[in-house]
A = this chain, B = another copy of it.
């Protein structure tokens, strides 16, 4: 149904998929990055549904010791390529059009953000599911490795992720 009083909107469906991925070798502020990301989506064009996830370094190592820092090694070149591919696949599977992935590399301190995933979509279900799924995908299929620097002097490479 269309009338002169009821113009059809040009919605998010017609926009290109927008994926932004960054690796940070120093600290980043998730909310500051989110603000810049949102500013590119002003007014009516803003996503009706946005799901975010922020992961931070715990203060405690896997063995219960206090943690001094987490070291994040990665495979330069492959990491970026994999993140891009995982994001693109996940977004098109869920039909979402906006995706932000930020990941730390190097030495990360307790309380600092390691990862930020944000998804913008027209519906809450796809936004939430895509955010969850992309987080799992990058945790298992992007070439990152964590080493714990413990306060007792031990340095241990982790052989996997914490349980979901």
- Interface residues in chain A, defined as those with a beta carbon under 8 Å from any beta carbon in chain B: 1-3, 5-9, 11, 31, 34-35, 38, 42-60, 63-66, 110-111, 122-125, 127-128, 131-132, 135, 150-153, 162-164
Residue of B nearest to A58 (CB): B48
Please tell me if the beta carbons of B51 and A5 are within 8 angstroms of each other in the complex. Answer: no
Residue of B nearest to A35 (CB): B31
Contacts A53-B128, A128-B132 hold; do A66 and B7 have CB atoms under 8 A apart?
yes
Task: List the 5 shortest-distance A-B pairs measured between CB atoms, nearest first.
Answer: A44-B59, A5-B152, A52-B52, A6-B65, A125-B164
Evaluate contact between A44 and B124: CB separation under 8 angstroms: no
Which residues of B sit under 8 angstroms from A135, Cβ to Cβ?
A: 124
Q: Taking the nearest CB of chain B, how far is it from the CB of A158, in angstroms?
A: 14
B55 near A48 with CB under 8 A, answer: yes
Closest chain B CB from A62 CB (angstroms): 12
